[in-house]
Structure 1
């Protein structure tokens, strides 16, 4: 199977596993994709909270926004051809999704809602590590050329 096909499949899996992270919603739970859709108007209206000491419900919109923007970067990386552009977009997307996950699970020691998000994020973490490995391994020579800066790469 070609490397580019593996990367595209892993991007899809990373998107799905990130969207299916469970978050606490009042007296129940829901998936991250639902929270992103519900809370986006709230984010645009009232702004974001960036203090990690806030309550879970105040941190949830910020986590959803980071996750949504990261998903957009992953989708852009999916439609790019292979190369450093795809790798860069995918890396930025994963970084933003991890920032959202960090906001979601910042208080995992203190409340069960954050702990639930942390536990259900394990598949996303596994898939994202595999995705990063495939991107780095398929573009290693390009990274080397980029770091050298003189185009002197010889296989």
Structure 2
């Protein structure tokens, strides 16, 4: 029970740190959660697309969409009772959040807005690595059992 509480706390921290990534907007900066709220009408229309060769402002709607999906899945994992479904939602949510972060910061070498987003994403990356380690290590025995063909094999000592 204590491990489940710790994972829920880490998921909440991951949500908060993902929402507070700084994003360059126009002549200023804002948090990712504000960008997601601004771009929701654009996301719901068919005006977004996947292309890594665009400018920073053209990458924002897609990055916001991926991040929003990741945040939704992470939030949904807080209400799951079974550990396996919770773990699957956490891993999937983190993959989407990382996809949004990667999409946002793909051009960090060319412009300062992407570099700012990359630097302010460090807390999110640290928390998400801890979550992934805790989640995967908690299910390592199931992974081993799956790789061995679904049956437990006991070795008798010689």
Q: What interval of TM-score do these two structures reach, taking the shorter chain for normalisation?
A: over 0.9
Q: Matched residue of 2:5: which SS?
A: helix
Could you tell me how far apart the structure 2 residues matched to 1:75 and 1:4 are? 14
Unaligned 5+ runs, structure 1 = none
Deviation at 1:152, TM superposition (A): 1.8
Counterparts of 2:12 and 2:148, CA distance in 1: 32
- 1:81 Cα shift? 2.4
SS in 2 for 1:79: coil
SS of residue in 1 equivalent to 2:45: helix
Q: Per the alignment, do residues 89 and 40 of structure 1 end up closer, same or farther by CA in structure 2, a change over 3 Å counting?
A: same
Distance 2:153 2:114 in 1: 47
Cα distance, 1:53 vs structure 2:
0.7
Match of 1:24 in 2: 24
Asked whether the 8 Å contact 1:4–1:82 carries over to 2, the reply is no
Aligned counterpart, 1:100: 100
| Structure 2 partner of 1:124 | 124
Root-mean-square deviation (CA, aligned residues, Å) is 1.5
CA contact (8 A) 1:21 1:121 kept: yes
TM-score, normalisation: structure 2: 0.91
Q: What are the ranges of 5 or more consecutive residues in structure 2 without an aligned counterpart?
A: none
Does the 8 A contact of 1:83 with 1:139 survive in 2? Answer: no
C-alpha separation between the residues in 1 aligned to 2:79 and 2:142?
Answer: 19
Matches for 1:5-154 after TM superposition, within 5 Å: 5-152=5-152
Deviations 1:78-102 (A, max 9, x none): 1112522111110000000000001
1:144 positional shift:
2.3
TM score, norm. by length of structure 1: 0.93
Tell me the alpha carbon deviations over residues 108-139 of structure 1, each in whole angstroms, 9 at most, x when there is no partner: 11110000000000000000000001101222
Question: Matched residue pairs, number?
Answer: 154
Which one is further off, 10-19 or 80-89? 80-89
Q: 1:69 to 1:129 in 2, by over 3 A?
A: same
